[in-house]
């Protein structure tokens, strides 16, 4: 299973957890930790689906140990679950 490293931080202003994928410059949010993880997994799958559909390149995941994590933030690995959008081509 392919996983992408992501950095999670509580955002006091938004009142939510923010999740950022450093390799892809995309992110997601959630009111709870669990919601943020579900939204991040969904965002990752949708992003990769769209990039592949358009034929655009995207970064491979970095090794987790190579990702810098600022103080107060948490490093997680988010699994890439391929989207099953209607009409998606099988590769």
Closest CA to 49 of 26, 89, 83, 79: 83
User: 50 lies in a domain?
Assistant: yes
Look up the CATH number of the domain holding residue 52: 3.30.160.250
User: 89 lies in a domain?
Assistant: no
From CA 24, how far away is CA 21, in angstroms rounded?
6
* pTM, to two decimals: 0.87
- In the chain, the number of structural domains is 1
User: 14 lies in a domain?
Assistant: yes
User: 16 lies in a domain?
Assistant: yes
From CA 26, how far away is CA 12, in angstroms rounded?
20
Residues in the chain: 91
Q: How far is CA 20 from CA 25, 51, 84, in A?
A: 7, 18, 23
Tens-level pLDDT at each residue, the chain (91 residues): 899 999 999 999 999 999 999 999 999 999 999 999 999 999 999 999 999 999 999 999 999 999 999 999 999 999 999 866 554 444 3
User: 7 lies in a domain?
Assistant: yes
Closest CA to 23 of 1, 39, 3: 3
Q: Which domain holds residue 28?
A: 3-79
């Amino acid at each position: 299973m392919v996983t992408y490293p992501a950095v999670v931080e509580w955002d006091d202003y938004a009142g939510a957890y923010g999740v950022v994928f450093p390799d892809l410059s995309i992110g997601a949010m959630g009111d709870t930790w669990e919601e943020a993880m579900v939204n991040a997994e969904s965002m990752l799958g949708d992003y990769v689906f769209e990039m592949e559909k358009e034929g655009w390149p995207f970064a491979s995941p970095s090794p987790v140990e190579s990702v810098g994590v600022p103080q107060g933030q948490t490093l997680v690995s988010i699994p890439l679950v391929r989207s099953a959008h209607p009409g998606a081509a099988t590769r």
